[in-house]
Amino acid sequence: MSNVKDGYTFNSGAVLDNRIVMAPMVAQGSTKGGQVTDEDLNYFRIRSDVAAMIITGAVAVEDGGRGFDNQIGASKDEEVAGLTKLAATMKEKGNKAIMQLYHGGREAVGGYNLFHEVVAPSAIEFSFLPYIPRELTEEEIKRIITSFGEAAKRAIDAGFDGVEIHGANHYLLQQFFSKFSNHRTDQWGGSLENRMRFSLEILKEVKRVVKEYAKDDFIVGYRFCPEEIHGDNVGYDVSESKQLIEKIVDEGLDYVHISVFASYDEKPANSDKSFGQIFKELVNNRAAVIIVSGIFSEEDANKALDHGDLVAIGRASLIEPHFAAKIKEGRSNEITTQVSPEILDSLALPKGLIAWILQENSPLPPLPNLESLKK
């Protein structure tokens, strides 16, 4: 039976010395132009032994795709210097540093604030957005695919150990895959095969760049939501996402990362298997499966290995910057599980992140006990 203290070797040959991953989270510490700041560096420096592999929050591959005002960017060559400092900081304790490549599509509020325009697969009005996105042209779709490849090249130049393609959480790749948000009638929409095309072309372009410019053990991953069902609004179900992931794994990569929000053992309706178990069975050791959500202790992490090959921690990494180190050293009983006034400053959470978590109707899950600190 696997244990989180066990090592893991990816298809590329890259080796992790344990099974714990820091989940990608936007830290809101960067400049409005996407430059890495000291807040970003301090945030990751303190967490450089939180996990064997650390994934940045969403890094914008185009300025027009920025979902957040204070989000790291990899859309311009002048951002590489800051990204180089970031990669080195994340790897200080020998961990793998992964850059998550992102375009917000209709959710690109940061891009809207810059350019007063947002693009998406289709020009559909959404009640939760203050604008109607403009439908992408064929030429623009191809440009965005190229932008993912260019951002991957910047990640390589900056010294990152890998990239993760963000195909989850209702951002651009998921918007193309979802029949709820993709009403196109060309090769990029309509049939399931066409709705898969955008994600697959991005993966192919990233892999092309990696093959040409990166070292052999450079890691490539893909993050996805296993279903998009909101009441009567169904973008896709797990049977369709299984077909997408089958094709993605066939293309060849190191891992697929399942984005769920309730718990690592979350199940689709009327299923006796969790999403993790479903996709582990599908992938069948051809790539690693990363599972996430609700992991706050060594016991939680080991239980989560029944659902994935690697376990990602989100809020736990914000509260306990030495999560993996304490487990490795046999001090899991010392893992901190909630924020307190005494430790808040030592966590180096960017001010923008704290404000985001504490804002009214925040889209982020609460951080245990943080709410009490604003009184």
The catalytic residue positions are 171
Q: Record the tokens describing residue 20, joined without a space.
A: 């714990």
Strands 8-9 and 15-16: antiparallel
Residue 36 token pair: 């890495």
Residue 157 contacts residue 205 (beta carbons within 8 Å): no
> 105 in the Ramachandran plot: left (φ > 0), alpha (ψ -120 to 50) or beta?
left
- For every residue of 313-355, DSSP letters joined together read ESHHHHH-TTHHHHHHTT-GGG---S--HHHHGGGT--HHHHH
Cα–Cα separations (whole angstroms), residue 100 to 25, 26, 56? 10, 10, 6
Q: Are strands 96-102 and 162-167 parallel, antiparallel or unpaired?
A: parallel
- The two counts, helices (H) then strands (E), for the chain are 13, 14
Is 206 within 8 Å of 222 (Cβ atoms)?
Answer: no
Residue with tokens 């992931």: 245
Rounded Cα gap, residues 157 and 182, in angstroms: 34
Contacts 24+ apart (CB under 8 A), 229-237: 233/180, 234/179, 234/180, 235/174, 235/177, 235/178, 235/179, 235/180, 235/181, 236/177, 236/178, 236/179, 236/195, 237/268
Q: Are 74 and 154 in contact (CB under 8 A)?
A: yes
